[in-house]
Each structure stands twice: as C-alpha cells, then as structure tokens.
Structure 1
Amino acid sequence: MTIKSGLAAVVAVFSVVLLASPATHAEEKTAATPVKVTVQAGDTLEKIASEHGVTYVQLYNANAGIANPDMIDVGQELTIPAADAQLPDRYAEFAAQQAATPIAAAATTASYPVYSQTYTPGSQAVYATDSSGNTYFKGYCTWYAKSRRPDLPNQLGNGGQWVANAAARGIATGSTPKVGAIAETSGHVGYVEAVNADGTITISDMNGRAGFGNVGSYTANAGNYQYIY
C-alpha cells in the first residue's frame, strides 16, 4: 500500500507540471520584443520609418536619444515602435521649440544671388526634378542649402549625407569645386560662392561659423569638401 500511494503522488505531481507548462509558454509568446535597428550610412529617419511601417513622427517620438529629427548618427540604435504604441508627442514639442527660436536678422536679410536655372556646372550635370518647398528646419545648414539650390530634392538627409544620397538619385557629384555647387564636409553643407586661384573656395552657409540661424561666408580648402552639381 505504501508503494502504491507513493506512485500515485508522483503521477499527480507530474500531471500538474504538464498542465502548467503550456500556460507558461503561452505567457512567454505574448511578451513583445522591441525591434531595434542600427542607423547605416545614407539612412534618414523617414527612410527607416517607411521600411518598418511606421511614420517619421512615431519613430522620432519613440526615441528620446534623437534630439533633432534631421540629425541621426551612423551606428545609432533606434527602437521601432508598435503601430498602436502610446508615445509622448516629442515631435510637437520640438516643432514648437523651433518656431519659438528667434532667427537672427542676418538669416532673413542677407543678400545673396538666387540660384538660376541657367547655371550649368558641366555637361555631365544631371539635375533632379524640383521638389515643392523646403522641408528642412529653417536655421540649419540643410535649409539654407536647399534654399540656394531649389532644384535639389528634399530629404537628402543630414548635412554629412547629402553627397551620397544625391549620387544614389543620379545627381552629379564629385570632388572638383564649382560655383553654385553644394559643398559637403563632415556633418555640414554650404553653397560655393567662388572658386579661388589659391585652391580655396568661398562658401556661404547657415548654422556654421556664424551660428544657428545666421548666414555666414568664409574661405576654406577646396580639397576638404565633396560637391553636388
């Protein structure tokens, strides 16, 4: 009798374990694992959002590490939010802050020649279809570059990504400076006002040496830049 009772107890315990196991596994399957992506060269926030079925705004809202939606870094890890995720409206706060930031008078009164469709940097130049408006944030170098070259498309990315993204769209790029070209260096773009005999170029830009919202002009070594024609 003692042996039979012991076997019955073992069977009962084993049955309880078997019944409990599926429930535990079911709970594990319902736990959502956040999707992480690493920013690659040429990525923009909008591109990553589109590839993962979310909006540019949702992706910005979900990642507190992004201070400016037009500026993401290669190697930066981003979290892709669920489509129905409840997120803080960081984008609205950012837009309100930008709207409230005073733009220095130099940015609105600066005198500079308007880009002309008659400008021909070379026979190999291929111009993109003109984009409607300027979607960059006013005050940044990208906004100024787009305002000087309205023929270039919006959403070429951060300042340091313009040449690669322009080349990918079939727009002529290169290392030879030309008046009217966009000059790109690490994280920044400007407009070539003049090519000088001493191997320098005269550049105008915004949010450069003159500071945020200011249009400045200076000379720099032409070899330090890549160009969009």
Structure 2
Amino acid sequence: TGAQESEQAIVIGVLPADPNTDWGMQAYMAADGMPTLPGMDENSLTTSEYLVWVPPEQADSVRAQLSQALSDTPIGAFDVYPTSFGVQEMSIYKVFGYAVAGVAVVILLLGALGLVNISLVTVRYRVREIGIRRSYGATGGRIFIGVLMESVVATVLAGAIGVAAAVALVKAPFVTDFFRDQGLVDIPPFPVDAVVVGLLAATAVGVLAGALPALIATRIKVIDAIRS
C-alpha cells in the first residue's frame, strides 16, 4: 500500500565506512533482536561462527566453560568444538621456515668468516703484546681464552642489541596499529624462544670466529714475538 513500517532495534555498535573497501557504514545489534527487523524472521537468520584463541594447555578448560555458558541462551544453544590452525601442522609453513632457517645459517657463516679475517689481522698486529704477556708467565690457555672471549663478547653484545631492536620494532605503535587495522585484536607477545635462539646464535658465531685466531695466538713463539 506504500505505507512505511517502522521498527525499533537496539544497536550495540557502529563502524564507519572504510575508504579502502566498498563497505559502507556497518551497524551491529544483538542476534535476538534481528527477527524484529522488517523482512527478517527466525528462518532467515544466518549461522555465525566465533573463534576464540587460547593457549593449548587451557583449551579443555575454556571449552568446558564455554559449553556450559552457551548451552542455553535467549537465542538458542551453541556448539563448542576445538580446532587448530597451528603453523606446525601446515606443511607450506614448515617449508618456508626451513628455507628461512637455511638462509639465516648461510648469513651467519658468512658473518663468522668475516669476523675470522678481522680477528686474524688483529692477532697479527698484537704479536708483540702477546709475546710480552707470555714472557711474564701467561699460559697458552690464558692467551687462548683472552682472544676467544674478545670475539664472543663482541658478538653477544651485537646479538643483544639486535634482539632489543627486534623487540622494539615488533612493539612499535605503528606496527601494532597496522596489525589491528588488519583485524588482529590480540597482538601476540614476542617469543622468548626467538630471543634465546638469537643469543645462542650470536655466541656460536663468536666462538667460531675466535677459535682459529686464538689457536694461532697460542702458537706464537715468545722470542720471535718480542723481536717483531
């Protein structure tokens, strides 16, 4: 008949139009109020799925609590079931992880080779110093540890600076805001195992880069070193 019908509904949230997409302004309302809208009834309601991300060790307890809370609601009952999207279970991500690890190992070896060359040059220019230390009673073990620790301390310090820079970058406001704009609500914490692996890798590079120069330093003859 041309008459306009009016219905009232409680809106619980509004999102502005997104200029990056074709979506206009969006309004959200409780599911039990949808049948009151014109042209909507219980048979026209769509099924919704909600995902809850929880640690694996808390999955069973959270599932039991949600099952009890959602077993009887004003709009019906909900089924709660576990699912998994773990990276370890997806072969494509495993291959990608192995490829990244291989590239990282090659880069670390190249870096260790460069440090070896620098350490060898440093030992060559410190031959007289090493000879004087040996003449005052320094043992070969002390010379070895001294030269080795110089390389290890330098690489561990560089690794700590790199880890701190990575944490600062991940936690930077512009990075977290970018992920939230993509729909990620809970920003995951920086993985502790990545910090440990980074520091261990830096230590290993320092040991590899300092072992050969330290061994050469222990084989320097005292008389030849003082005369140089």
TM range (shorter): under 0.3
Bigger Rg, structure 1 or 2 = 2
Relative contact order, higher structure (CA 8 A, sep 6+): 2
Q: Give TM-score scaled by structure 2 length.
A: 0.21
TM-score (norm 1): 0.21
